[in-house]
Structure 1
Amino acid sequence: MLTFFRWLVRLTVALILVGVAIVSLAWYFAIRSLPDYEASYAVQGISAPVEIVRTTEGVPHIFGQTDEDAFFALGLAHAQDRLFQMTVLRRAAQGKLAEIYGPGAVRADDLTRRLGLYRNARDSLEAQTPQTQAALKAYANGVNAWIEQINLGARGRGAPEFFLYPDDISYWEPADSLAILKLIAATSTTQIRHEVLRARLSMAYPERGSDLISAGTGARVPNYTSLFPGARFLPTESTSAGRRWETALAGFLAPGAGSSANGFAAAGQRTAAGGALLANDPQFALTAPSLWYLARIDLSSGGVIGGTIPGLPLVLSGRNTGLAWGITPAQIDDQDLFIEEVQPGDATRYRSPTGWVPFTTRQEVLRIRGADDRTITLHETANGPVIPGAQMDIAAILPAGHVATLSWTGGHAGDRTMSALMGLMTATDRRAAATALADVTAPTVAVTLADREGVAQVLAGSQPIRNPQSPTQGRVPTPGWLAEAAWTGIQPIPATLSDLSPASGVVATTGAALPGLDSPMGQDWQSAYRLDRLRHQLDSREVHSRDSFIAAQNDIVSPVARALLPLVGANLWYSGEPAAAGTPERQRQDALALLGKWDGAMSEHLPEPLIYAAWMRALQDRIVRDELGPLADDLDELFPQFIERVFRDVNGAGAWCDVVQSAQTETCDVIARQALDQAILDLSGRYGPDLASWRWGDLHHARHVHPALGDMRGLSYIVNLLQSTSGDGSTVARAGLLGHGRNPWLNVTGAVYRGVYDLADPDSSVFIISTGQSGHPLSRHYDDMAELWRRGEYVGMSLDPALARAAAAGVTQLLPRTE
């Protein structure tokens, strides 16, 4: 027994030592990839020495002799801090995620290949201006210079993720940056999903399905089954695993996921200091690291500072010495699905306006980590590429013997968007900026501009040219064999969204709501609330300051809550003696009492936002469940204008409240009371019966997910960031909700970058990103801005070289190398 005990002790000690050795080695190799910000590097590709001065927050300030040298250094700085993110974004745009992630990424790669993002990017390279081509080449050389330094210095493969996801890092090419911009364009639009939802609603409830989604334009949805008599309403086959947020974020960006932003500005006559103010906050999925990265570069035209995306040699939102700009994705209807009939007995041909013609086909090979290569055949028609039914619930609307194809403004070669955005960085005023933006194709963006003379907003991009005789006008998928249904091309959107000198001195946009347009350019239905709230914030003050813009950008009052609660609860508030303590009636009364005094602020510290959110979710589900059946499970968002229509009984929409399967006729008040009781019961099961102790932040967590490691047990606690947050999907400080699963109130999208630019005192301008500058989980800059971001705070952004050097936490020297 003694001998056994001794050997057990020895084995335990040995295992501990082995464990310590493994952890020590892992730590050693991981920290090898942390860049030294005080180092000097001899690199090939620059004409003179370049300085990269990093502030205490890790923001690089780049000083070079030429524009090409500056873009070279930006590429190197991006690669130092975000190399894994850059390679993943490139793979997502190329359709090569499965090479590192395995079979789980095949579906994403398949869609990207069919959209042809990388192929179109290569074809667009020659269309760029000479200056843009030079910048793209210099940027690629800078990325490659850092990859070379990794190889020469054995710097831990460049990022710790490469130890778990082995990757032979190929050198960066100019087309890679163009492909990432294409991926951003594909991510920004949600029109495929919306067309599919409209078609499904039309089939599930032909009489009133359009009530749910026609509130934005007032246009009724065409009857889908009349267009395709063979179509039948089908539930989707998507599983909970297929809808997992972490899976969708494997490439940081996912086509069809959607993005948004706020952009607003005030001219000098509306500001305390007499200079223009501008604020912008692009909103994407919350990831760790953030999609965005802060940087300043010195160009021959002057300094430029603001938010960048690693992989792109662009400051997408920021300012130079005379101009500030902010970009907001504009949700115009830039995509149409077409339903093509496949020839019976011959799957190689489809029906066209002139008869049966062959598909254009090509084959590509998907290489899959841990599995055999897979050859896919890509089909294309005159209307565009065939999109598999497994994507975005398309299978639920496909008649037998048909396939879906996509026409999209971003699917065209010769796209000069990169050159347009490059020109925006060097523009000196609003008019020069508007001229540069005329070359934008996709994504279509509303660009807010401010200079010393005033403010403006320009809508830049392309729109489809549809035949007036089209039977659907893009609202639902269209028969592909009808000649009048096909696009006749794309055309630039008329450039001016608002006058370059608006009389009010204030401009504002929230992307989906486009002010200043005579006719809608999309079918989106929930755009007005956030824009109205933002306009209220701006109009409530005659004179603005930087602090008032910061307050507006971080506003957490829900305009939807303010609109719906008095309407939905109009006949539920009680008078008289309260019910007995501990009864459901008393809980309902207490909940209504709290909501009756609430101002609509979606504060993480209050119980009212949680009660309201749970009530509205339960209410919408009760209203639509009996009419829509399984489709109700796929409604991941609240449709507030629909609820307004129902409770106001607009055009008979109050009929939704009556439960069809019930013998009695239910009123909307009855449904509202039942929904509130259900919400309180569910929340009581989670947090106990004391409503006053509940907190919105208990469920409304911002989860910044690491796309590669965030789903790994153990590592997820290190690489993911979890914070309680305020706001919701309708607040100006947008905090979009997951919408399904055990916690549908998880905050999964938000302002990954915020900037407020003050042209009266430019060096008082501020910006912030949602995590930190570094993508390395062991870096102190991995999450050092996350708490500031959560609290609505910022860091300073200055173009003064002396200030940058005075606050320098490290200076990297790049020296020309001659061979």
Structure 2
Amino acid sequence: MALLFRWLMRIITGLIVLCVAIFALTYYFASRSLPNYTADEAVQGIASPVEIVRDNANVPHIFGATDPDVYFALGYAHAQDRMWQMTMLRRTAQGRLSELFGERTLPIDKLLRHLDLYRTATESVDDQDAQTTAALKAYSAGVNAWLGKVNEGARGRGAPEMWMFNHAISPWQPADSIAIIKLMALQLSSQLENEVLRARTSLLLDPNLVRDILPDDPGSGIAMLPEYATLVPDLPRYAANSRAPYDPLSPVKPAQLAGASNAWAAGPTRSATGGTLLANDPHLGLTAPTIWYLARLELSTGGVIGGTIPGVPVVMTGRSDSLGWGITSSYLDDQDLFIEEVNPDNSTQYRGLDGWENFKSRDSIINVRDQSAVTVRVRETVNGPVLPADQFDLSTITPRGHVVSLGWTALSRDDTTMSAAIKLMQARTVDDAFDATEGYIAPSQNLTVADRTRVGLKTIGAIPARTPDHQSQGRLPSFGYIEGNRWFGRQPYADNPEFADPMGDILGNTNNKTSDAPFPDHVSYVWGDTQRIKRWARLMQAREVHTRESFIEAQLDTVSYTARTLLPMMGADLWFTGEAAPEGTPERRRQQALELLAAWNGEMNEHMPEPLIYAAWLRELHKRLTRDELGPLSSEFTHADPVFIERVFRNIDGASVWCDVVQSAPVETCTDISRQALDDALIWIDEHQGTTVAALRWGDAHQATHDHPVLGDVPLLSWFVNIRQSTSGGDNTLQRGKTSGVGPNPFQNVHAAGYRGVYDFADPDSSVFISATGQSGHPLSRYYDNMGELWRRGEYVPMSLDTALARAAAVGVTVLTPIAE
């Protein structure tokens, strides 16, 4: 027995030692890729020495004698901290994820090969102006210089992920940076999916019900559109979903999670200090690390500082000493789907305006890890590339003998967006900024700008030129062989919506409607917001003058205008009705919930129970209202549209018919459905969050999910690479924390402000900014999540162009010196 015990102890001890050794060895190899920020490096590609001074938040301040040298150093810094993220963005744009991840990512690669984003980026390189071409080449050289250092110094293959997915990294090219901007356009676009959803819904419902469930933003109306079934006959009234579940590696986000953002600016008459103010917080899907990387560039035209995207040599949102700029998604209708008839006697042809025309086609080979390569036939019509039928549920709305092509401004082969972005960093005034962005193609944005005396907003990006007799006004897929459905170029940039020197000296955008122009001069029929703008307007008008602090307060505001509007309707006949029910009964829990909500001001605070009760009630109400009319299609409507709920409860145009359950004999009222939905919500809360209503916390359900897109689901590793935080806010608050709407945790915060910045031009160096996680993409770096808790608490770091301040608080200085040739 003693002998057995000794051997068991030896085995256990040996296993412990082995585990420790494996852990130590893993840590050693992973930590080899951590960069040393205090270094002198000799590199090729610069004309004179360059300094990268990293302040105490690890924000690089880059100083060089020439602009190309500064861009070189930015590429070097991006590669040091985000090499894995950059290579993943490039692989996604190229349609080459399956080389690393196998069959899992094959649908993503197929889509990107059909869209041909990388080829269009390559063809756009020669369309850039001289300074942009020089910037792209210098930036690429900087990235490649770091790759050279990794190879020379055995620096852990550049990132710890490379040990798990080892694959050669090709040199960075100017086209790679352009392709990443196009990839962002894909992530921010939702018009394609909205067209498909509207088509599928119109095949199922009466036109009046379609108008309810897919409402236009309140405002000027439009002419009634035809049913999709009348445009494209012989389709089933309902077809099941055809696409695979959403993959976090996909750049195509669900339409409900398309781009969103806030930006507002105040002129001198509305500023307490007499200077202009600007605030911006772009919203994207949360990841670890965030897509944003803070940086300061000292260019020949002056310093610029703000948020960059690794892989792109541009400050996308930020400021100089005289101009600040912010971006919000414009929701421009820059995508149209075309139903193309295929020649039944020759599948290489499709119907054109005057007969059959040949598809442009070629084969594209996708290498798949551990499997045989897959050959994809890529086809294109005059309207755009043909999309795979299994993407976007296209098979459900495509007639037999037809295919679907996509018209999209981001597919331009003479895309000068990069040149426009470079010019914007050199602008000094509002007018300069508007002039600089004339060549901006995609993704379309609302550009909010403030110089020292003026503020302005302009929609930038190419607007397709359509004919007035378009069959569906661009809202539904339409036949590509009908001339009236086709595009005929782009609208003049001067016609893009523009607002400067507003009468009240204050302006802003929360993805709300910006134009009431009739078709075809409209911007969009689908907008990103009808609610946040109401709260913003109230906060802006509540003060005669504003300060940096009041702009921060608005940026962090968590009061839900939606909750304040909908709850009185949802509970109109439920508040304080009946006698007090016995403790422990469902009726008593309903009364407790209603009592809490009756005294609630709509603040979606993470520490309160009311936001959870409200959110769960609204979710269950939406399900009860829609699932009988929509059936399985209701799974596409993951978030309640506040305009739809209001239409139903106000019975606008007879919309209260949604409250009656079609399959049941009784006629249910909206009060009946609302009561049942509240009971459903409390049951869900009991099962998932606890039974004591007053002890509930919204933040327990509304956790921000900064997850690693690749390693986030790997057991044990997820503990190291994912960042989870209890957060305030919600779907419709200014501090927006969009919920997932699906799965066992439907209230997780998955889409929020990855960057926040507030700029005060009375004292520019008092400006502040923050990113959602940290500067480094390396999980072992202390800068992987160093800003995460500040971001969660609504705190910021200084956004200063003061060189002395950056040097005084430096955590490291990297000096790059040219190698003598």
TM-score (structure 2 length as normaliser) = 0.97
Q: Matches of 2:273 and 2:124 in 1, distance apart?
A: 44
Paired residues for 1:322-721 under 5 Å: 322-494=322-494, 497-514=497-514, 520-524=522-526, 527-575=529-577, 577-721=579-723
Q: Matches of 2:30 and 2:773 in 1, distance apart?
A: 20
Q: Matches of 1:281 and 1:686 in 2, distance apart?
A: 32
* % identical aligned pairs: 51
Q: Matches of 1:410 and 1:20 in 2, distance apart?
A: 51
Q: CA deviation at 1:536?
A: 1.5
Match for residue 225 of structure 1?
A: 229
Q: CA deviation at 1:483?
A: 2.0
Q: Matches of 2:806 and 2:348 in 1, distance apart?
A: 62
2:94 maps to 1:90:
no
Q: Matches of 1:446 and 1:742 in 2, distance apart?
A: 35
Q: CA deviation at 1:281?
A: 0.5
| Equivalent position SS for 2:294 | strand
CA contact (8 A) 2:627 2:634 kept: yes
Q: CA RMSD in A?
A: 1.8
Q: Matches of 1:708 and 1:332 in 2, distance apart?
A: 31
CA contact (8 A) 2:101 2:369 kept: yes
Q: Matches of 2:203 and 2:739 in 1, distance apart?
A: 27
| Equivalent position SS for 2:687 | helix
The worse-fitting range, judged by mean Cα deviation, of 201-210 and 441-450 is 201-210
The worse-fitting range, judged by mean Cα deviation, of 287-296 and 593-602 is 593-602
Structure 1's 437 and 88: CA in aligned 2 closer, same or farther, altered over 3 A?
A: same
2:155 maps to 1:155:
yes
Q: CA deviation at 1:136?
A: 0.5
Q: Matches of 1:526 and 1:263 in 2, distance apart?
A: 14
Q: Which letter maps to 2:655?
A: A
How many corresponding residue pairs?
815
Q: CA deviation at 1:574?
A: 2.2
Q: Which letter maps to 1:231?
A: L
Q: CA deviation at 1:658?
A: 1.2
Q: CA deviation at 1:305?
A: 0.5
CA contact (8 A) 2:242 2:395 kept: no
Q: Matches of 1:138 and 1:754 in 2, distance apart?
A: 28
Q: CA deviation at 1:659?
A: 1.1
Q: Matches of 2:158 and 2:711 in 1, distance apart?
A: 16
Q: CA deviation at 1:389?
A: 2.0
Q: CA deviation at 1:339?
A: 1.4
Q: Matches of 2:570 and 2:541 in 1, distance apart?
A: 28
Q: CA deviation at 1:355?
A: 2.6
Listed as ranges, the gaps of 5+ residues in structure 2 are none
Structure 1's 130 and 363: CA in aligned 2 closer, same or farther, altered over 3 A?
A: same
Structure 1's 285 and 262: CA in aligned 2 closer, same or farther, altered over 3 A?
A: same
Instruction: String of CA shifts for 1:579-607, please: whole Å, max 9, x gaps.
Output: 22222222212211111111111111111
Q: Matches of 2:778 and 2:109 in 1, distance apart?
A: 26
Match for residue 279 of structure 1?
A: 279
Q: Which letter maps to 1:513?
A: K
Q: Matches of 2:772 and 2:495 in 1, distance apart?
A: 32
Structure 1's 603 and 77: CA in aligned 2 closer, same or farther, altered over 3 A?
A: same
Q: Matches of 1:252 and 1:567 in 2, distance apart?
A: 35
Listed as ranges, the gaps of 5+ residues in structure 1 are none
Match for residue 783 of structure 1?
A: 785
Instruction: String of CA shifts for 1:95-143, please: whole Å, max 9, x gaps.
Output: 1111112211111111111111111111111111100000011100100
Q: Matches of 1:602 and 1:139 in 2, distance apart?
A: 43
The worse-fitting range, judged by mean Cα deviation, of 203-212 and 802-811 is 203-212
The worse-fitting range, judged by mean Cα deviation, of 104-113 and 228-237 is 228-237
Instruction: String of CA shifts for 1:505-564, please: whole Å, max 9, x gaps.
Output: 101011243268677411215522111211211111111000000010111111111111
Q: CA deviation at 1:2?
A: 5.6
Q: Matches of 1:400 and 1:5 in 2, distance apart?
A: 73
Structure 1's 515 and 466: CA in aligned 2 closer, same or farther, altered over 3 A?
A: closer
Match for residue 213 of structure 1?
A: 214
Q: Which letter maps to 1:210?
A: R
The worse-fitting range, judged by mean Cα deviation, of 488-497 and 351-360 is 488-497
CA contact (8 A) 2:535 2:734 kept: yes
Instruction: String of CA shifts for 1:600-628, please: whole Å, max 9, x gaps.
Output: 11111111111111111111111111111
CA contact (8 A) 1:192 1:256 kept: no
Structure 1's 526 and 563: CA in aligned 2 closer, same or farther, altered over 3 A?
A: farther
Q: Which letter maps to 2:729?
A: G
Q: Which letter maps to 1:441?
A: I
Structure 1's 702 and 238: CA in aligned 2 closer, same or farther, altered over 3 A?
A: farther
Q: Which letter maps to 2:782?
A: R
Q: CA deviation at 1:356?
A: 2.8
Q: Matches of 1:257 and 1:107 in 2, distance apart?
A: 20
CA contact (8 A) 1:736 1:748 kept: yes
Q: Matches of 2:364 and 2:688 in 1, distance apart?
A: 50
Instruction: String of CA shifts for 1:743-799, please: whole Å, max 9, x gaps.
Output: 111111000000001111111100000000000000000001001101111000100
Structure 1's 520 and 532: CA in aligned 2 closer, same or farther, altered over 3 A?
A: farther
Q: Matches of 1:233 and 1:542 in 2, distance apart?
A: 55
Q: CA deviation at 1:428?
A: 1.0
| Equivalent position SS for 2:713 | coil
Paired residues for 1:27-66 under 5 Å: 27-66=27-66
Q: Matches of 1:496 and 1:222 in 2, distance apart?
A: 28
Q: Which letter maps to 1:179?
A: A
Q: Which letter maps to 1:202?
A: S
CA contact (8 A) 2:660 2:667 kept: yes
| Equivalent position SS for 1:102 | helix
TM-score (structure 1 length as normaliser) = 0.97
Q: Matches of 1:334 and 1:162 in 2, distance apart?
A: 37
Instruction: String of CA shifts for 1:425-483, please: whole Å, max 9, x gaps.
Output: 01111111110011111111111110111111111111111121111011111122222
CA contact (8 A) 1:292 1:310 kept: yes
| Equivalent position SS for 1:279 | strand
Q: CA deviation at 1:19?
A: 2.2
Structure 1's 526 and 444: CA in aligned 2 closer, same or farther, altered over 3 A?
A: closer
Q: Matches of 2:642 and 2:251 in 1, distance apart?
A: 31
Q: CA deviation at 1:738?
A: 0.8
Q: CA deviation at 1:315?
A: 0.4
Q: CA deviation at 1:234?
A: 3.4
Q: Matches of 1:538 and 1:290 in 2, distance apart?
A: 29
Match for residue 818 of structure 2?
A: 816
| Equivalent position SS for 2:531 | helix
Q: CA deviation at 1:57?
A: 0.9
Q: Which letter maps to 1:267?
A: G
CA contact (8 A) 2:76 2:143 kept: yes
Structure 1's 650 and 476: CA in aligned 2 closer, same or farther, altered over 3 A?
A: same
The worse-fitting range, judged by mean Cα deviation, of 724-733 and 566-575 is 566-575
Q: CA deviation at 1:686?
A: 2.5
Match for residue 125 of structure 1?
A: 125
| Equivalent position SS for 2:534 | helix
Instruction: String of CA shifts for 1:210-231, please: whole Å, max 9, x gaps.
Output: 3211332644443011111111
| Equivalent position SS for 1:463 | coil
CA contact (8 A) 2:150 2:156 kept: yes
Q: Matches of 1:611 and 1:765 in 2, distance apart?
A: 37
Q: Matches of 2:587 and 2:173 in 1, distance apart?
A: 66
